[in-house]
């Protein structure tokens, strides 16, 4: 961060409106007195509003103040989303369904906050009919009028006719708010799903145990039936043998 604040002996004003280290208004005093106060209390005298009459100065730890200002500026730059310009290529002979597909693609870019530039490239004899490309771009702008504003009307540059669209601020803001609302609604569901991490596993174990019990019951039932059938067959065989012996 550049040193854009005058401090201590670099302050040129003879009088300053002083704010102490606690944020309390001290009032208008001579700069020499303010410097003496800063030195006595172990702070720097920082000119924070040079254009005021008289300039406003504060008693600060300038190293800490400079660091905090740098962090704020970095955060501000991070939050500033630079709008990208997405390029979409067309030809004078591009079919209607392809134009619709590209227009739908442009909608996604616009809702993301990006600009969209449609480029119609002419070849050979196509240059004799620029009105075809112009009509094509005008139709696209009409299709996207609810989402976009025309930042640059169709402009011929060499063999390329271009149209630049920018997101409609109101629509973009509404889309971003809707996205935030969806995220907020999703959070309770995620919280409920993660509230008891073992609950799902326990439920699955219970279901598997129940299936095992059913399988065991079924297996025991089948085995008993088979044993009973074998006993009945054996009894029948014994009865037949007894009847044969009696006849003899």
User: What's the N-to-C CA distance of the chain in angstroms?
Assistant: 123
What mean pLDDT value characterizes the chain? 79
Residue with more model confidence, 195 or 121 = 121
- Asked whether residue 118 is domain-assigned, the answer is yes
Predicted confidence at residue 220, as pLDDT, reads 43
CATH number, domain with residue 29: 3.10.20.80
Q: Determine the Cα–Cα distance for residues 55 and 52; give it in Å rounded to an integer.
A: 5
Are 57 and 131 in a shared domain? Answer: no
- Ramachandran angles phi, psi of 33, nearest 5°: -65, -40
Share of the chain above pLDDT 70, in %: 71
How many domains are contained in the chain? 3
Is residue 181 one of the residues assigned to a domain?
Answer: no
- Does residue 30 contact residue 14 with C-beta atoms inside 8 Å? yes
Residue 74 resides in a domain? yes
Count of Cβ atoms closer than 10 Å to residue 54 Cβ: 15
Predicted pLDDT of residue 113: 87
Q: Who's near 237: CB < 8 A, 6+ residues apart?
A: none
Kindly tell me if the per-residue pLDDT of 200 is higher than 50: no
* 1 within some domain: no
Distance CA 128, CA 87 (A): 24
Give the H or E element holding residue 11. Answer: none
pLDDT of the residue at 83: 64
Residue 72 sits in the same domain as residue 36: yes
For residues 22-41, give the mean pLDDT. 93
Residues 220 and 145 in one domain: no
Identify whether 192 is part of a domain.
no
**CA nearest to 167, candidates 231, 244, 238, 115:** 115
């Amino acid at each position: 961060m550049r040193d854009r604040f005058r401090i201590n002996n670099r302050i040129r004003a003879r009088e300053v409106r002083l704010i102490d280290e606690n944020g309390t208004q001290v009032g208008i005093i001579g700069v020499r007195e303010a410097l003496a106060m800063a030195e006595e209390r172990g702070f720097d005298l920082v000119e924070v509003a040079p254009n005021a009459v008289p300039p406003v100065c504060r008693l600060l730890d300038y190293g800490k103040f400079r660091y905090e200002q740098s962090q704020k500026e970095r955060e501000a730059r991070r939050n500033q989303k630079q709008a990208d310009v997405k390029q979409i290529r067309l030809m004078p002979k591009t079919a209607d369904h392809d134009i619709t597909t590209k227009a739908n693609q442009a909608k996604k870019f616009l809702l993301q906050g990006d600009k969209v530039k449609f480029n119609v490239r002419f070849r050979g004899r196509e240059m004799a009919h620029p009105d075809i490309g112009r009509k094509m771009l005008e139709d696209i702008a009409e299709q996207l009028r609810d989402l976009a504003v025309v930042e640059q009307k169709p402009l011929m540059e060499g063999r390329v006719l271009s149209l630049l669209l920018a997101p409609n601020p109101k629509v973009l803001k509404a889309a971003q708010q809707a996205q935030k609302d969806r995220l907020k609604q999703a959070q309770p569901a995620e919280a409920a799903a993660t509230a008891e991490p073992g609950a799902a596993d326990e439920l699955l174990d219970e279901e598997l145990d129940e299936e095992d019990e059913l399988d065991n019951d079924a297996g025991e039932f089948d085995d008993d039936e088979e044993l009973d059938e074998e006993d009945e067959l054996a009894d029948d065989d014994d009865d037949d043998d007894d009847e044969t012996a009696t006849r003899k």
